[in-house]
Amino acid sequence: MERIDTGVRRIVAPNPSPMTGRGTNTYVLGSGRVAVIDPGPEDAGHLAAIAEGLDPGERIVAILVTHAHLDHSEGAPALSRQSGAPVWAFGDADAGRSAAMSAFQGRLPEGEGTDRAFRPDRLLADGEELGMGDWRVRALHTPGHFGNHLSFGFGDLVFSGDVVMGWSTTLIAPPEGDLNDYFRSLARLRGTGARRLLPGHGAPVEAPTLRIDELDAHRRLRSAQILAALAGGPKDIPTLRAMLYPDLAAPLHPAAERNILAHLIALHAAGEILGAAGTNGPFALPSGA
C-alpha cells in the first residue's frame, strides 16, 4: 500500500496484461472509516493485501466501483463480505447504456470482461455526494468506456477509472462503449479542473487538461483516418484494422476491431458513412462525399 496523495493510498492488483498495464489500481480514501475504490479482480491475495494495508483500527465502510468490468468489480462482493461494507455504483452492467448501444443488445457479443454478476448494494446517482469520516466524494457519470462508468471527485482530485489513463488510450467496445458518450465524458472531466487524475490503471495523470486533449484529438484523428480509408471504396472491419494498425500484435486485433466499430457506429449516426452499422461491414462513404 503506497500513499500517493493527501488522504489517498493505492495498491495495485496482480493482474497485469496488455489491457490492464501493471494491474488494476485499488484506492483507499481517508483514515479510520475508509472507502475503497475498485477492489479489482476476485483474487484472495489482493483482497488480503487491501485489509493488511490498513492502519491499526481502520475499517472499510464503503466500497465504490467505477464500472462493471471484471478487473474492477469482481472482487467487490468478497470484500463486502469480508468487511461488512456495502458496494456503491451507478448500477449493474446494463445501467447507463446509451440508446444507440442498447439497440445493439443481442446483436453484438459483449466483451469477455463484462461482469454480468455485478449487483451493487446501493446506487449512486450522477452528482450525488457520499462521505463518512474524513472523506467525501462526488459521483460523476462518465460513460463511453462503459455505460455505468462513474468517476469520483475528491477535493481537487478525480478518480477517472478507465476513461482517462496516462499509459494507454481507452478501449471503446460496443455495445458496452459508445464513442459519442466518451467525447462528452472527456469534456466533463476537463471541466472539473482537477489537479490530478487517478486512473484505474497506470500512474497518476499530472497534466489532466493536456492528457484529455490528447485523447480527444486521437479519437478524432482515428475517425478521419477511417473516412480516408473508406474513400477508396467499401471495406470491412478486419481490412480497416489491417490498414490502421499494421504492426499490432495478433492478440490485440479483437480490441482494435471493437474500437473501429465504435468509430463506424458514430460516423454512421452522423450520416458520414453508409453501411450496416453494427456488423462487419462493408462500410462506404455516402455518394458525393
Q: What is the pLDDT of residue 104?
A: 73
Is the domain of 223 the same as that of 201?
no
Is 212 a member of any domain? no
* 277 compared with 117, residue with greater pLDDT: 117
Is the domain of 196 the same as that of 228?
no
Is the domain of 200 the same as that of 240?
no
Is the domain of 171 the same as that of 233?
no
β-bridge mates for residue 141, sequence order: 150
Q: Which pLDDT band, with edges at 50, 70 and 90, does 114 fall under?
A: very high
Is the domain of 190 the same as that of 53?
yes
Q: What is the CA radius of gyration of the chain?
A: 19
CATH number for 256: 1.10.10.10
Sign of CA dihedral 278, 263, 20, 199: negative
Instruction: Report the distance separating Cα 64 and Cα 61, nearest Å.
Output: 10
Number of domains within the chain? 2
Cβ-count burial of 149 within 10 angstroms (0-12 exposed, 13-18 middle, 19+ buried)?
buried
Cβ atoms of 42 and 78 within 8 Å: the answer is yes
Q: What is the pLDDT of residue 160?
A: 98
Q: Which pLDDT band, with edges at 50, 70 and 90, does 132 fall under?
A: very high
Is the domain of 33 the same as that of 153?
yes
CATH number for 105: 3.60.15.10
Chosen domain end from 178, 206, 234: 206
Q: Which pLDDT band, with edges at 50, 70 and 90, does 101 fall under?
A: confident
Domain span at residue 230 reads: 217-284
Q: What is the pLDDT of residues 244-277, one digit of tens each?
A: 999 999 999 999 999 999 999 999 888 888 875 4
Is 134 a member of any domain? yes
